[in-house]
A and B are shown apart, each in its own frame.
Chain A
């Protein structure tokens, strides 16, 4: 019941299960699963999960949460950019069942000591789930307010003991063209990939989300595990992560490959740097009629502006 207890916050790096033991455990589980033919899902994956319509318990509130009015869940889970599940905003919800989220493993590789493939439950469970109500600003000039459920990314990354060479973190979305309708066409270079500088990844505002509105992530929102970086345009918050890779060099990222002049590596929300094809000065909050002013770093300037001190943000857009 790791997710449930209140004294699990200070995980030491030594707490990580040894790779050898971990691999054996997987084998054991596979065997027992095939023997008993009992589904390992959901009780095994999520110890705190109640049942079918899966809710999390004892989610901690966070001081980082905004007081802005929440965007209704119908919009949060019905108006999505998730090209793997289709290009129209309504497609991801319609095609959500094509994304197979159980079982789910995350491959950790690159400049860290604890590389390996981790099952989702090992990945998240030692940390405490928090509710983070964040503004989400899409590069397309609309925005939402989403009550995410997740954990800070930084402590999780530290468990893998990144080396001094780890200057960047690269993330990849699942590649499954057999099942994911959007991946049958090369609209973007699949798998979708994103990256952060290591200090951005370690920033306490950066989270890995596993849920929203108190429940497991709907598939169309990037189940079962997604990044949320609230001061950057939405496309940086990569969905359905299967790979985390520590790198010395800045990794290529999907939208930057597709349109280098339009989507920068940093893609911090910035009202002073327009997208070449539309203004970024204002945004339409979903549910509102009049546009509102877009804030530098999406309103998180106090927390994150120092990460970029001395940088020309028009150059490094």
Chain B
């Protein structure tokens, strides 16, 4: 069982761990470069990690139910904020590197391309969650905070759709994320039904 004492030591470790993907990207840039289409590489890479960390936030509550490690809940916020951080990096790489601030093109994309509509909606919906992530906000909003943060289910589904609708024919990779998400949400449904019964 983890104590909150050890929790204080673990948090900085997790913080650094969650920065590793970004460090790996930087390392790759200096060691071998990003290949023939560097912008695409950065876009895909940051998108992958945004999705992975986002889905990892959904693993906390099933994990707690199974393992009874209630203390790990204190790390969830960091994962959530890092998910938002990687989403921001991913979005910036699209706006700055891919489109280079061509806002008419970006607006076109957001409204005309379903996969970008999905991804952009996920980003917009993440903003209130990030803003209300402080202790003060949790106290102030109370039960409404829990309701608000259930948005993460919608966000995760939008994020998987964003990936799924982007690929041309090979849906294997987005399918893996969809299955993970289905399992994570399935747990909740299972516990919900069990409680009712």
**Range for the number of chain A residues in contact with chain B:** 20 to 34
Which of A188, A279, A287, A290 lies in contact with B169, CB distance below 8 A? A188
Interface residues on B, range: 20 to 34
A74 at the interface (CB under 8 A from B): yes
Q: Please determine whether B114 and A277 come into contact, CB atoms closer than 8 angstroms.
A: yes
For B37, give its contact among A282, A284, A290 (CB under 8 Å).
A284
Distance to closest chain A CB from B173 (angstroms): 9
**B99 — which chain A residues lie within 8 A by C-beta?**
291
Pick the contact of B109 from A74, A276, A278, A284 — CB < 8 Å? A278
**Within A172-210, which residues are at the interface with B (CB < 8 Å)?**
187-188
Contact of B115 among A75, A140, A258, A277 (CB under 8 A): A277
B191 close to chain A: CB less than 8 A? no
Which residues of B sit under 8 angstroms from A13, Cβ to Cβ? Answer: none
A79 within 8 A of B: yes
A286 touches B105 (CB 8 A): no
Q: Does A90 contact B (CB under 8 A)?
A: yes
Most chain-A Cβ atoms within 10 A of its Cβ — which of B97, B108, B170?
A: B170
Contacts of B16 in A (CB 8 A): none
- Interface status of A33 (Cβ within 8 A of chain B): no
| A284, B105: Cα distance in complex, Å | 14
Q: Counting CB contacts under 8 A, is B165 at the interface?
A: yes
B166 touches A (CB below 8 Å): yes
Contact with A along B101-145 (1 / 0, CB 8 A): 010010011001111000000000000000000000000000000
Q: B35 interface residue, CB < 8 Å from A?
A: yes
Q: Separation in Å of the A288 CB from the closest CB of chain B?
A: 10
Known: A277-B113, A279-B109, A291-B100. A90 touches B35 (CB 8 A): yes
| Interchain CA distance A294-B35 in the complex, whole Å | 23
Q: Say whether B157 faces chain A, with CB atoms less than 8 Å apart.
A: no
B146 close to A (CB within 8 Å): no
- Docked Cα-Cα span, A187 to B169, in Å, equals 6
Given A187-B169, A188-B169, A277-B166, A89 contacting B37 (CB threshold 8 A):
yes
B89 at the interface (CB under 8 A from A): no
Query: Is residue A161 contacting chain B, with contact meaning CB distance below 8 A?
Result: no
A259, B168: Cα distance in complex, Å: 9
Docked Cα-Cα span, A151 to B166, in Å, equals 37
Residue B25 lies at the interface, judged by CB distance under 8 Å to chain A = no
Q: How far is the CA of A89 from the CA of B169 in the complex (A)?
A: 14
CB distance from B148 to the nearest CB of A (A): 31
A281 on the B face (CB < 8 A): yes
A34 → chain B, closest Cβ, in Å? Answer: 42
Among B30-77, those with CB < 8 Å from A are 35-37, 39-40
Residues of A near B36 (CB, < 8 A) are 74-75, 78-79, 89, 286-287
In the bound complex, CA of A158 to CA of B29 (Å)? 51
A142 at the interface (CB under 8 A from B): yes
Interface string of A255-289 (1 = CB under 8 A from B): 00011000000000000001011110110101101
Interface set, chain B 154-172, CB cutoff 8 A to A? 165-166, 168-170
CB-CB < 8 A to A282: which residues of B?
A: 105
Q: Shortest beta-carbon distance, B139 to chain A, in Å?
A: 44
Residues of A within 8 A of B112 (CB): 274
* Pairwise interchain contact A187-B170, C-beta atoms closer than 8 A: yes
Interface residues of A (CB under 8 A from B): 74-75, 78-79, 87, 89-90, 140, 142, 187-188, 258-259, 274, 276-279, 281-282, 284, 286-287, 289-291
In the complex, 19 of the A-B residue pairs with CB atoms within 8 angstroms, ordered by the A residue number, are: A78-B35, A78-B36, A79-B35, A79-B37, A89-B37, A188-B169, A258-B169, A274-B112, A277-B115, A277-B166, A278-B109, A278-B113, A282-B105, A286-B37, A287-B36, A289-B39, A289-B97, A289-B100, A291-B99
Given contacts A79-B37, A277-B165, 5 further A-B contacts (CB under 8 A): A75-B36, A140-B168, A277-B114, A284-B39, A291-B99
Closest 4 pairs (CB-CB, A-B): A79-B36, A75-B36, A87-B170, A286-B36
Which of B's residues lie within 8 Å of A, judged by CB?
35-37, 39-40, 97, 99-100, 102, 105, 108-109, 112-115, 165-166, 168-170
